[in-house]
Structure 1
Amino acid sequence: MTTGLSPEGTHTATAALGTLIRGHRLRIGLTQRELADLSTISVRAIRDLEKGKALRPRADTIRLIADGLRLGPRARTALEESVSRGHQGGAGRHLLTERCAPPVPLHPLIGREAEAAILAEELRSGAERLVTVVGLSGVGKTRLALEAAARLYESGFPVLWHTAPDAVTDCLPAADEDPLADLVADCAAYLQGAGAAPTAPAHGRRPGSAAPAPALTALAGSASDELPPVALAAALGDREALLVLDGVDTARLDFARLTRLRRELPGLRLLLTADTPWNVPGERLFLLAPLDAPLPADPADPGAGADAPAVRFLLARLRRVRPELLPDEQTTAHAAWIAHRLDGHPLALAAAASWLSVCDLPTLRGIVETDPAAVLDHLADGHSGSRLRDRVARTLGALPPEQRDLLTALCAAQDTPAPDFGLDDVVRLTGRTLPDGGRMVRALLIGGVIRPSTDHGRSGFRVPCVVRAALAPADGTGATAAEAPAAVAPAPAA
């Protein structure tokens, strides 16, 4: 059994004290004033600690701050260890550790506890050094990466986070003056085959950011045109660290440069969120399906589905729109039915919840029953809702014709009372051999355009609602969003 590394006696336990305090404070949503009230420590003292001006506070001060942050035993130990070890390194390294926290998520994590625990443990232990989280757009890849990064940060890992320019964010943006953003952007550009010289184009830097911060240039101890592995190696030393590339296009990544990065930084872990896998040696493919949304409960027990992850997620979003909504049996029954009808897709559930501002829950259920595609547009931000269907349509358009044909045939079959399908159904519809059918199912799972289902007592699959909506005619002319044919052609005879 793989276990996490102990923080004692490792470089990961030497993160700057201010970084740990600030990270814990932001994770639970406290201001410096609120932490001061809870810990009975002055605001100025907390501010000095977070800025690194006070590196050796008294033990009682750390104890009171840990109490105010409600830290568990492991996090408390890491905080105390950072004090006993003191401040290490020069100004540049201090700058790195003070800026190495992951972004702050916009929403709490619901229904992904098992996935987050597995992902964080694999990265923390070093069992996996390259993990790519793949899944359909809006399924929650970024939120899962944020949680895994936060857990590694709590155990002492510096976290370097880069979001692709066209990615949909699920977190608060970094501060504009954050000098580490340039180093991380240069590293991301390096992995995509672009140079990092300051005289070259900005390669993903923020507008107006022309060159790396002077402190980081000094930290690298090298000429300004040296490649990011040199700067990272100088900044990190032999420390373990996590680099996250959120929303990256894996087709643009350079495996040879990854090899160099991993060779020169043996403690570095790389976490990607992407629509497609990289398909390189050593990659751990982490498939992220929609939230579990089982069949609605028996009418005799309408509240039985309240613990399902998709139902909990939907109820939380419904109450953001209607805080007075009580999670009684009737409300839970409606939520369970909607969650199942929308296949537990998080962004689809969030969009559906926004409709509670213009209708009640029974009416929303009726809309979903009649035309579930109608509620995929978020009322508070229709542009965001439209992008969801556009992104799904682009995913479908990139599939090989035989896979789109199969999806169309499966959608027609899902109009029957038993919407799930199995591998035998794929073989029957396509006329292909069992191994070929298995490869098609795996490819569709990796693309996120089908999801696992056990509603009917067997291992099966289902085409999610958002995919069916993208495949359906959009304007009554017969054209679909993905231009998918309506029949599946059997495999040609050998």
Structure 2
Amino acid sequence: MTLSHPPQDTPAPTAPLGSLIRGHRLRIGLTQRELADLSTISVRAIRDLEKGKAQRPRTDTVRLIADALRLGPRARTALEASARRGSRADGDVRLLSMERAAPPVPLYPLVGREAETGVLVEELRSGTERLVTIVGLSGVGKTRLALEAAARLHDAGLPVLWHDGDGAAADCLRADDDPLPRFADDCARFLRGGGVPEDVLPELADAPAALDDDGSPSVRGAAVLVLDGVDTADLDFGRLSRLLRTFPGLRLLITGDRPCNVPGERLFLLSPLEAPAPAAGHADAPAVRFFLSQLRRVRPDIVPEGQALADVAWICHRLDGHPAALGAAASWLTVCDLSTLRNIVDSDPAPLLDHLAGGPDGSRLQVRVSRALATLPAPCRSLIGELGEVRDGEFLLQDVVRLTGRPLPECGRLIRELLVGGMIRTSTDGGRSAFRVLCVVRAAGSTAGV
């Protein structure tokens, strides 16, 4: 039997690029080395093309190979068409990788954030909001909420790309086989400026995209990009706008200590867990359930009923339902009993805000809160010190007017600034429009002399 190769001018529109190159090379009796010498392309490149390892050759590479093979018009057109199909096929592979992109896996179940998660997921899934920034005091659970929302969005069919900023929490498992490990990081570097030129956008657009029929990159469907723990002050709004225009289906979810303060931003203020006064009988309050989850990890012998449950409810109320503060306090149960812990929280909770399991280099809540306090405008820092003297931290708008002597609109802005910074929270007791300075803020403020 005789093996025949396609005539020089016979188009082979369905043949892979590597098969076409090899068929034309063998037809005129060239070795891979000889074709490499004639085309000025490396032997390795020729070998990779014929084996299908390289599916996106440059236009100049295809032209040099066609010249070396002395192809006629029809065969040259077929070779170029096959090269373009290879690019599109590669784009489809990248698109498939994009579709499989998943967020990290949280280490612990989420407690008490069902309402917040539902709103966040719906806004991002529907595309109602394309730029959402979760803000709140350090340790309030911003990363954990973002992880939960990202997991549900991924389950709904949206690809999720995740970038860890310098302030990101470490309580999750990140995938080692992320199909697009560089894309989220490249986007973050682009948004920060940092020497990344604006002409990198076409390259970014090509990363998760397929190719249109005319060869131009386009994003298919929607995707979610999470920038966790980033300093929003470093982000360039002009570049942010261009990124969202380049990717029409992209939704951006940011967690940080401060909002971006740009047009179109959806500010998502995350308060501590609900922790009403124990007298209200809310043993099933989210803060109580969170503390009990921590309690089971350090003292499974403690039965949460009767006086023990009352002590837990009081501790949660005194610490304002702040998750990191509750976790730190629970860690002390390895060295003291529950009633002793309650007494310490009631008298001076500041020493309990260091997690016993953190180690000498571990994250210290007081240090992070003190740093956040230091970034506040001077009027806000001054007001925090004065509010610590008002009814154990609970106050009304009228109290701020009386304390500061400032006009009502200015006092309203001061309260909003403190809410956005996570320094205060709305009070759930009494049904009034009251606020309360967080216990962790009062403790850090007294240590720092605020």
State the one-letter code of the partner of 1:338. Answer: I
1:436 corresponding residue in structure 2: 410
Note if contact 1:393-1:470 (Cα within 8 Å) is conserved in structure 2: yes
Aligned partners of 1:192 and 1:252 also within 8 Å: yes
TM alignment of 1:372-391, pairs within 5 A: 372-383=349-360, 387-391=364-368
User: Hey, what does 2:24 align to over in structure 1?
Assistant: none
CA distance in 2, matches of 1:472, 1:321: 29
The residue aligned with 1:446 is 420
Between the aligned partners of 2:253 and 2:239, the Cα distance in structure 1 is: 16
Give the counterpart letter for 2:180 in structure 1.
L
Select which of 230, 252, 255 maps to 1:270. Answer: 252
Which residue of structure 1 lines up, in the alignment, with residue 41 of structure 2? Answer: none
Provide the rounded CA distance (Å) in 2 between the counterparts of 1:92 and 1:105. 26
Aligned to 2:207: 231
Alignment-derived partner of residue 26 in structure 1? none
Give the alignment partner of residue 409 of structure 1, picking from 386, 393, 409.
Answer: 386
Shift of 1:390: 1.2
C-alpha distance in structure 1 between counterparts of 2:259 and 2:288, whole Å? 29
> Aligned match of 1:90 in 89, 92, 110?
92
Distance 1:111 1:384 in 2: 30
State the Cα distance separating 1:335 from its structure 2 match: 0.7
Please give the per-residue CA displacement for 1:424-465, whole angstroms capped at 9, x wherever unaligned.
000000001111110110011001011110323312111101
Shift of 1:132: 0.3
Query: What is the SS of the residue equivalent to 1:424?
Result: helix
- Provide the rounded CA distance (Å) in 2 between the counterparts of 1:247 and 1:148: 15
Q: Does 1:124 align with 2:101?
A: no
Deviation at 1:368, TM superposition (A): 1.0
CA distance in 2, matches of 1:224, 1:279: 25
How many Å separate the matches in 1 of 2:137 and 2:361?
A: 15
The structure that has the greater radius of gyration is 2
Alignment partner, residue 163 of structure 2: 162
Q: Deviations over 1:219-243 (max 9, x none)?
A: xxxx999542343444972211100
What is the aligned-residue RMSD (CA, Å)? 2.2
Q: Deviations over 1:35-87 (max 9, x none)?
A: xxxxxxxxxxxxxxxxxxxxxxxxxxxxxxxxxxxxxxxxxxxxxxxxxxxx9
Q: Partners of 1:278 and 1:272 in 2: how far apart?
A: 9
Q: Give 2:185's aligned residue.
A: 185
8 Å CA contact 1:297–1:333 kept in 2: the answer is no
TM-score, normalised by the number of residues in structure 1: 0.68
SS in 2 for 1:336: helix
Q: Give the Cα separation in 2 of the matches to 1:383 and 1:129.
A: 40
Note if 1:110 corresponds to 2:114: no
Identity %: 61
One-letter amino acid matched to 1:465: C
Cα pair distance change 1:332/1:183, threshold 3 Å: same
Q: Which runs of 5+ in 1 are unaligned?
A: 1-86, 198-222, 299-303, 474-479, 485-494
| 2:335 counterpart residue number | 358
Alignment of 1:78-477 (within 5 A): 90-98=92-100, 100-175=101-176, 178-194=178-194, 226-234=202-210, 237-297=219-279, 304-383=281-360, 387-415=364-392, 419-473=393-447
- Check conservation: 2:95, 2:209, Cα contact below 8 A: no
Give distance in 1, aligned partners of 2:416 and 2:359.
33
Q: Deviations over 1:393-426 (max 9, x none)?
A: 11111111111111001112244xxx41010000
1:382: Cα distance to partner?
Answer: 4.1
Change (3 A) 1:231 1:88: closer
Could you report, residue by residue, the CA deviation over 1:244-267 in whole angstroms, capped at 9, with x for unpaired residues?
Answer: 000111111111112122112111
TM-score (norm 2): 0.75
Q: Give the 3 Å change call, closer, same or farther, for CA 465–225 of structure 1 in structure 2.
A: closer
Q: Contact 1:229–1:264 at 8 Å: present in 2 too? A: yes
Distance 1:307 1:448, change over 3 A: same
1:259 match: secondary structure: helix
> CA 1:384 to 1:452, structure 2 compared with 1: closer, same or farther past 3 Å?
farther
Distance 1:264 1:467, change over 3 A: same
Residues 179 and 421 from structure 1, CA distance in 2 versus in 1: closer, same or farther, beyond 3 angstroms? same
In 1: Cα distance, 2:415 partner to 2:428 partner: 16
Instruction: Confirm or deny: 8 A CA contact 2:164 2:230 kept in the other structure.
Output: yes
Aligned residues: 355
Report the AA paired with residue 180 of structure 1. Answer: L
Whichever residue aligns with residue 436 of structure 1, its letter is E
Distance 2:192 2:200 in 1: 19
Residue deviations 1:365-402 (CA, integer Å, cap 9, x gap): 11111211111111111447653211111111111111
Query: Structure 2 unaligned runs (5+)?
Result: 1-88, 211-216
CA deviation after TM superposition for structure 1 residue 122, in Å: 0.6
Distance 1:224 1:436, change over 3 A: closer
